[in-house]
Structure 1
Amino acid sequence: MTDDANSVPNPENGIGTRIAEVAERLGSRKKAAEAAGVSVSTLNRWITGESVPVFAGVARLCLAAGVSLDWVATGSAVTTRASSGRNMDSPQGVQLPEGMSIGDFAFVPLYDAQCSAGDGAWNENCRVLTHISFTRYSLRKQGLTPDHLSAIRIDGDSMEPVLHSGDTVLIDHTRTTVEGEGIYILRLDGHLYAKRLQRQFDGVAIISANKEYEKIVVPRDRMDELEIVGRAVWSAGWL
């Protein structure tokens, strides 16, 4: 097999074992493959040494898991907690707050905002850009389960000034019915939108925060045509 310019050196020198450890930290090889932007079979070949890992993919994997790329690529040792102040329960090369370990955090996938039309899953053709870390405690306080969460970036100005283009929103996929008034993620014409939904006597109103966009009412007899991906439960963006 011929190495290319993007390949990580020394694949036989334990890199597969280290990639497997990173995958375990992310919870599964499927999640690790999504983070790296490769198939599960390709990730497995990296782990077994049947294929040379590609640098860009390993870099994305390390970013998602919060581990040192140098450690995955070379196996270089990390200094002890006594000499460096690092919590040795944390990923290599990452300093966590005193008393916390990597198990205290959940990593939620951030998808790109493109989505195919049709009857497939909302993220069928989506790509995982990275993972966002939340403390498990903060999610539990909100009644949220990490496995049922994902994040996307807002595209467009229809929800300004509440949400701006480029803002990141966290989606709870267990909430796919309108529970009072709130901001939900919808799939319309092959794209994802954040809109405020309001249950009314004759159906559900789709409301944009930007007054330049008109309110749309989905009649009660056409509610099955409204695809709700989940409810937005958190948002963040640059000031």
Structure 2
Amino acid sequence: MSTKETAQTVQDPHQPYPLASVSPVKADEPVAWYRYHAAAAADKAEVKTVRTEARTVFMQQFGQRCRAARGVREINDVAAAVGVHRNTIWNVERGDSLPDAFELEVLAREYNTTPTQLLGGESLDAARSTAVPRGVRAVQADELIYVPLFDLREQAEGAAFTDADSVLAMRPFDAQFIRYDLGIAHDDLAMFGVVGTSMEPWLHARDSVLADLRDRDALTEGVHLIRLDGALLMKKLQRLPGKILRVSSYNAAYEPFDIQGHESADRDFAVLGRVRWAGVTFN
């Protein structure tokens, strides 16, 4: 019986999804796909063909997981650490070769993961997300950086981004995006949801933004999170002559105002960070 004929097995009305009629998708489950078709193959030549196809897909997926596990590290650094030529790492990541059991164990330990995860037995992202505890600072785990998402409504007065109880979740970002695209080399990052309409039409309520908490001096003009008289506000900041800081909104209904450099030190005003990224929610 050919593979094609096997896939046309008559369905038992009392067994909605009979095992013999369900063919795993090769791109998703190459091993299961191979075992299914190998069992139904007409001869050894057909077994060899389906094995080659499944193995090719498996090698590509394994290479992708190894590339993700390597993250921002250079291939030369990994090759030197595990004692192989850089082409060995390169060929694995391209899906052209598979390591033996010893090399697999060495690679897994170098990448701070397990052979099972590299082989696809457990999602790397799922394993890491459960291992990253909630905290007030971002945490890098290989190729991902988990940024705390704060509920600013739950912040204690004067304690913005320092209250771990107000962290709703740790949101993952690609490490290369944070380190290279945004140029942020530290982990003092925070996410929070937009509240109100002062930044419309640029941002709306329920959108999320990511802020660099070390960019507090407003030397770089842009959108910042500020504290003013006990309230947390997201505003555009512009430096004017005479040590004047103009604070404005995108929504024209909100009047701009100025902060004078000579104002009383008792005035509750501070720049808490600069917004570097925003995620827009479509209703």
TM-score band w.r.t. shorter chain: 0.5 to 0.7
The answer on whether the counterparts of 2:116 and 2:122 sit within 8 Å (CA) in structure 1 is no
Q: Show CA shifts across 1:6-29 (max 9, x none).
A: xxxxxxxxxxxxxxxxxxxxxxxx
Quote the Cα distance in structure 2 between the aligned partners of 1:102 and 1:168: 22
Shift of 1:106: 0.8
Q: Show CA shifts across 1:145-195 (max 9, x none).
A: 352101111100001011111111111011001124200001123332110
Shift of 1:135: 1.3
SS state at 1:196 partner: strand
Pick from 103, 107, 110: which aligns with 2:142?
Answer: 103
Specify the code of the residue in structure 1 equivalent to 2:204: H
Change (3 A) 1:136 1:93: closer
- Quote the sequence identity (%): 29
Quote the Cα distance in structure 2 between the aligned partners of 1:220 and 1:93: 46
Aligned to 2:256: 215
Pick from 271, 275, 281: which aligns with 1:228?
Answer: 271
Quote the Cα distance in structure 2 between the aligned partners of 1:143 and 1:93: 24
Aligned to 1:121: 159
Change (3 A) 1:195 1:139: same
Change (3 A) 1:201 1:146: same
Change (3 A) 1:145 1:80: closer
Q: How many residues were matched structurally?
A: 152
Specify the code of the residue in structure 2 equivalent to 1:166: R
Quote the Cα distance in structure 2 between the aligned partners of 1:146 and 1:93: 20
Specify the code of the residue in structure 1 equivalent to 2:252: K
Aligned to 1:162: 202
Which 4+ stretches in 1 moved above 3 angstroms?
78-82, 85-94
Asked whether 1:238 is paired with 2:277, we answer no
Quote the Cα distance in structure 2 between the aligned partners of 1:179 and 1:93: 36
Asked whether 1:199 is paired with 2:242, we answer no
Change (3 A) 1:86 1:193: farther
Specify the code of the residue in structure 2 equivalent to 1:215: P
SS state at 2:152 partner: coil
Specify the code of the residue in structure 1 equivalent to 2:202: V
SS state at 2:215 partner: coil
More moved, 229-238 vs 145-154: 145-154
Specify the code of the residue in structure 2 equivalent to 1:156: G
SS state at 1:176 partner: coil
The answer on whether the counterparts of 1:91 and 1:102 sit within 8 Å (CA) in structure 2 is no
SS state at 2:187 partner: helix
| Bigger relative CO (Cα 8 Å, ≥ 6 apart) | 1
Pick from 117, 121, 131: which aligns with 2:170?
Answer: 131
Shift of 1:92: 3.6
Change (3 A) 1:80 1:218: closer
Quote the Cα distance in structure 2 between the aligned partners of 1:213 and 1:164: 15
Asked whether 1:140 is paired with 2:179, we answer yes
Q: Show CA shifts across 1:99-141 (max 9, x none).
A: xx95110100000022333xx4323456001111111111111
Change (3 A) 1:223 1:146: farther
Quote the Cα distance in structure 1 between the aligned partners of 2:202 and 2:264: 26
Which 5+ residue runs of structure 2 have no aligned equivalent?
1-114, 130-139
Within-5 A mapping of 1:169-188: 169-188=209-228
